Amino acid sequence: MTSTAPRFPDPYAIPTPPGADGWEEMYPYYNRFLESRRELDSQRTWFLNSMHFPEPMPPFDIVTSDSAFMSVGVMNSRVFALPPALGLDVRVLNGYVYMSSNGVEDPEEIGRRAQEFGVRAGHYYQNWPDLYAAWETKVRAQIAALKAIEIPDLGDLEPRDRVLAARGIASSNDLLVAYQRILASLDAAWNLHSELLNLGYAAYLNFLMLCKGHFPEITDQAVAKMVSGVDVLLFRPDDELKKLAALAVELGVADRIIAGEDPGPEWLAAYAESAEPWFHFSYGNGFYHHHRSWSDDPSFPLAMIGEYAQRLRKGEDLSRPLAAVSAERDAVVERYRGLIDTGEGRQAFDEALGLSRVVFPYVENHNFFIEHWYMTVFWNKMRSLGELFVRHGFFDAVDDLFFLRRAEVGDALVDLQMAWCAGGRPHGPDHWPAIVRQRRETYAALARWSPPPALGPAPGQIVEPMTIMLWGITDEQVAGWLAAQEGTGTVRTLRGFAGSPGVAEGRARVVLRPADLSTVEDGEILVAPITSPSWTPVFARIKGAVSDIGGIMCHAAIVSREYGLPAVVGTGTGTSTIRTGQMIRVDGDTGAVTLLDD
Amino acid sequence: MTYIRWFDEVRAGDRPTVGGKCASLGELISAGIAVPQGFAVTVDAYAAHCAGFRDRLAGAAPGDAGALVRAAAMPAQVEAEVRAAYADLCRHEGRADLPVAVRSSAVAEDGDAASFAGQQETYLWTVGADDVVARVRDCWASLYTPQAVAYRARLPEERAAEATRIAVGVQAMVDATVSGVAFTVSPRTGDRSVVAVNASWGLGQAVVSGEVTPDEFWLSKAGPTLTARTVAHKARECRPAPDGRGVVTVDVPVERRDAATLDGERLRALASLAMRVEEHYGCPQDIEWALDASGRFLVLQSRPETTWRARQAARAARPANAFLNLVHTIGTQR
């Protein structure tokens, strides 16, 4: 490597942000850039995974990164034997998650893996609808099992009936088992998350590349439109809100809901029915303990039900035009198909499109099951463990638990077990509060830091399609990042993907976290790091949307198209460049965001 | 009328009578595409014009032949019919002394090559019946420019004879607010799902002469949907001269210089129009268009765009990626 080759910052030369000294102790050794591995790790290119981990990781929350990367990796490397691609190595730097992919280069090895892949993946493709149905059953079972895990109370005495039944094993052991089960369940759920995912993406990618072969300038948007389902789970929670709004109008209780008064048992029963499971819908992406869901905090869904009810009373039709969407999809397919000259070409197009549509319900819907529903239950189960620690004086607040690493939670648990068994006083209350206080400050300092998009030597040409597809990392993007770190000029125009057509001008509203969603006012342009599908209802208020992260399948784009709002996604730096109140122009036709005033 | 055919009554099959250009305009009209109205002065009109001096014409040197054609009085019936048709056209467009384009319309299949050889003239902004008659004669005379003669000299006898059969089109000029070209295939990659549009203020000449960099728009035929837009700085535009004869180049008012010439809705309408033209001809087209003051798009001319046809055919039906090929095979086997 010569000194003139383009480079991103060396991970070993990045300074600790002010106020974040000692951040390393919040993360396990296997996730860090260790001094002893400088030779190895500084030679590799690392990309920031801001798509899934836009915020620094609280110490416990790293379990989601661990499990997610492990499961994607194991499916590629050992379960399906993808010929060219293995998994990703993960490092945490100043709290942010970076990744570097492992590949297979040896042609002989690729050949051997291709044979295995053919058998294994072939089985999945040919039995996809059945396997997808079975998958849903497995996930529901996993969620039910997680819910059923009991965190023992650790009261004064063991319950008498257990003793008389000669159980022999005490509640302190149950506590240990419960924690281990929760962690094992998380890992299993993420295995399931990834079971069908990359096979699904590969089938989609096959169609995408086929389209690009015929139509080099086809947009990802157009390809997605041909494959996308008309009725996807993503919209189900929003549909439930509309349904509840309609019921409120019918029962004459809309004003009570708007005023925050009791709407009566009939409506509440309907709400409860919708909520399970549809309101286990994360305000964020489910990867962080503080990304609560509608079921945890119903203020947003209730506000939207009120808004929808008012619109219904004005005679508005809130239903989504499914027939029109479906007709448009068919028209797009016919348009492209008709431009392919040969029968052979049209047959390959039909086959690839057919396969994509078979796999796509999983690609579109898995998110609700794992990231939203499962993770809502998971974080709440961990919270009930936090409550136990609060009762025993370890923490002031339930959420303090998430400022311990998973191994430290295990230690604290043994501490509690030992003290409870011995009838003594645990160390925890004298040990943890000061550490948690310190870590919360460190965490806040890390949150103020802007992580570079990549580390280490700039990569050669990026050709591996899965990288481009899954992470949206392209040669142009890398070149853009390199140019940006040279600091060329003041930014007046941001570039991203044209997510949803149209042009809108308006005042920007930068929303960094779901809690700030209520600040969004009518006619503003939403600027956010990512948008979760649970933000969907707020799209009824805004004029346009801009996101830092997002590509082909990004929620902001899908939802914007549905609402007919211009959107530019994947701008990289929207939230750090644009200020709330600034006039901006969103050009969803071309993927440009222009800052109109200073 | 013997020597006049209106555009809206001719079809592709009338090429031997009205020439390729006029036949093509007739085709477009029959396909429901808006084209400025006009008429063809038929091949027979030219034959009648030359009837009295055919022998002298055959023996004349190129320069003399042209002068001969231009100097000869137009047969009375031909001239009367041209004047009557022009008067009809003026009435139809609601304007006396309507500015028109007078242009040659060759019968030969290789009309494009012939136009390079200079044997097809175009006279824009012709005003008044006297000038129309004179320009029709000029078009006829253009068959005898040195280049045109040299061109025909290289052709086999039969085709050379055909290349001297010529009609003339007389067509209303459009006082365009915006004009430009549209390709129904990407000039960048040959992607047939793309419509590429160039547009500038006023009449098309400013772009052709290179005086103005046009706005550039890219659309996908699906929808159609706008996918990219580059709005250029357009300082000058061509407008019809106040007397209707010819054009003048003027400064674009400051507030329009950096504004987009077409909005999303108009672009989608233009792309749909271009796609209808392409569909009608069954192959990619290079279309000259104008937006008139009433907000209507008119097609001025459409030519097949052939550059990319071969490359398109050579394109592989499946991606050249071993992994994806494997996915396709195992995913779609029965």
Give the CATH number for residue B153.
Answer: 3.30.1490.20
Same domain, B142 and B207: no
Q: Which residues contact A483 (CB under 8 A, 6 or more apart)?
A: none
Q: Which chain A residues are Cβ-neighbours of B324 within 8 angstroms?
A: 202, 205-206, 209, 465
Q: Which residues of B fall below an 8 Å CB-CB distance to A?
A: 186, 188-194, 218, 220-223, 225-229, 264, 312-313, 315-319, 321-324, 326-333
Say whether B331 and A118 touch across the interface (CB within 8 A): no
Higher pLDDT, A405 or B283: A405
Q: Are strands A544-547 and A525-528 parallel, antiparallel or unpaired?
A: parallel
Say whether A83 and B191 touch across the interface (CB within 8 A): no
Same domain, B32 and B110: yes
Same domain, B220 and B112: no
Q: Are strands A525-528 and B100-106 parallel, antiparallel or unpaired?
A: unpaired
Same domain, B133 and B18: yes
Same domain, B251 and B120: no
Q: Which residues contact A533 (CB under 8 A, 6 or more apart)?
A: A234, A235, A237, A281, A367, A368, A372, A555, A559
Q: In the prediction, which pLDDT does A220 show?
A: 79
Same domain, B161 and B221: no
pLDDT tens digits for A218-244? 887 788 889 987 777 878 998 999 999
Say whether B226 and A213 touch across the interface (CB within 8 A): no
The distance in angstroms from the start CA to the end CA of chain B is: 67
Same domain, B153 and B15: yes
- Which among B229, B321, B326 is the nearest to A589, CB-wise? B229
Say whether B188 and A331 touch across the interface (CB within 8 A): no
- Residue to mutate among A214, A495, A585, with most B CBs inside 10 A, is A214
Is A246 part of any domain? yes
Is A535 part of any domain? yes
Mean pLDDT of chain B: 86
At which of B144, B172, B200 does a domain end?
A: B172
pLDDT tens digits for A236-290? 998 999 999 999 999 999 999 999 899 999 999 999 999 999 999 988 889 999 9
In which domain, by residue range, is A543 found?
Answer: 491-595
Higher pLDDT, A198 or A486: A198
Most trustworthy range by pLDDT among A261-275, B163-177, B209-223: A261-275
At which of B172, B202, B218 does a domain end?
A: B172
Q: In the prediction, which pLDDT does B79 show?
A: 96
Q: In the prediction, which pLDDT does A111 show?
A: 93
CA distance A518 to A301: 11
CA distance B14 to A5: 66
pLDDT range class, residue B210, cuts 50, 70, 90: low
Minimal CA separation from B331 to chain A, in Å = 5
Nearest chain B residue (CA) to A110: B323
DSSP string, A143-195: HHHHHH-------SS--HHHHHTT--S-HHHHHHHHHHHHHHHHHHHHHHHHH
Is B331 part of any domain? no
Is B326 part of any domain? no
Q: In the prediction, which pLDDT does A469 show?
A: 65
Minimal CA separation from B330 to chain A, in Å = 5
Say whether A589 and B226 touch across the interface (CB within 8 A): yes
Q: What does the longest C-alpha to C-alpha distance in chain B come to?
A: 78
Minimal CA separation from B303 to chain A, in Å = 19
Is A189 part of any domain? no
Asked whether residue A200 carries a pLDDT value surpassing 80, the answer given is yes
Say whether B327 and A121 touch across the interface (CB within 8 A): yes
pLDDT tens digits for A477-510? 777 777 777 665 456 788 777 777 788 999 999 9
At which of A287, A316, A345 does a domain end?
A: A316
In which domain, by residue range, is B52 found?
Answer: 4-172
pLDDT range class, residue B46, cuts 50, 70, 90: very high
Say whether B323 and A354 touch across the interface (CB within 8 A): no
Same domain, B196 and B259: yes
Minimal CA separation from A73 to chain B, in Å = 17
Q: In the prediction, which pLDDT does B292 show?
A: 92
Is A383 part of any domain? no
Higher pLDDT, A459 or A505: A505
- Residue to mutate among A80, A337, A339, with most B CBs inside 10 A, is A339
Same domain, B29 and B112: yes
Say whether A215 and B191 touch across the interface (CB within 8 A): yes
pLDDT tens digits for A34-81? 999 999 999 999 999 887 888 899 999 999 999 999 999 999 999 999
Q: In the prediction, which pLDDT does B106 show?
A: 85
- Which among B192, B193, B326 is the nearest to A114, CB-wise? B326
Is A404 part of any domain? no
Say whether A589 and B331 touch across the interface (CB within 8 A): no
Same domain, B249 and B141: no
Asked whether residue B117 carries a pLDDT value surpassing 70, the answer given is no
Q: What is the CATH number of the domain that holds A565?
A: 3.50.30.10
Minimal CA separation from A360 to chain B, in Å = 13
Same domain, B196 and B54: no
Tell me the whole-structure pTM to 2 decimals.
0.81
- Least confident residue range of A96-110, A221-235, A303-317, B290-304: A221-235
How much of chain B exceeds pLDDT 70, in percent?
90
- Which among A122, A331, A348 is the nearest to B330, CB-wise? A122
Q: In the prediction, which pLDDT does A2 show?
A: 44
Is B321 part of any domain? no
Is B332 part of any domain? no
How much of chain A exceeds pLDDT 90, in percent?
62
pLDDT tens digits for B192-206? 999 999 999 998 877
pLDDT tens digits for A371-393? 999 999 999 999 999 999 999 99
Same domain, B8 and B55: yes
Asked whether residue B109 carries a pLDDT value surpassing 70, the answer given is no
Mean pLDDT of chain A: 89
Is A380 part of any domain? no
- State how far Cα A71 lies from the chain centre: 15
Is B167 part of any domain? yes
At which of B117, B151, B172 does a domain end?
A: B172
Say whether A222 and B225 touch across the interface (CB within 8 A): yes
Minimal CA separation from A122 to chain B, in Å = 5
Whether residue A248 contacts residue A257, with contact meaning beta carbons closer than 8 Å, is answered with: yes
Asked whether residue B112 carries a pLDDT value surpassing 90, the answer given is no
Minimal CA separation from B267 to chain A, in Å = 12
Is A501 part of any domain? yes
Nearest chain A residue (CA) to B324: A206
Q: In the prediction, which pLDDT does B334 show?
A: 64
Higher pLDDT, A107 or A502: A107
Say whether A206 and B189 touch across the interface (CB within 8 A): no
Is B333 part of any domain? no
Q: Which amino acid is at A447?
A: A
How much of chain B exceeds pLDDT 90, in percent?
46
Q: Which residues contact A57 (CB under 8 A, 6 or more apart)?
A: A26, A27, A65, A92, A95, A96, A97, A288
Q: How many domains does chain B have?
A: 2
Q: How many domains does chain A have?
A: 2
Is A120 part of any domain? no
Q: What does the longest C-alpha to C-alpha distance in chain A come to?
A: 82
Predicted ipTM of the assembly: 0.79
Mean pLDDT of B170-185: 93
Q: What is the CATH number of the domain that holds B296?
A: 3.30.470.20
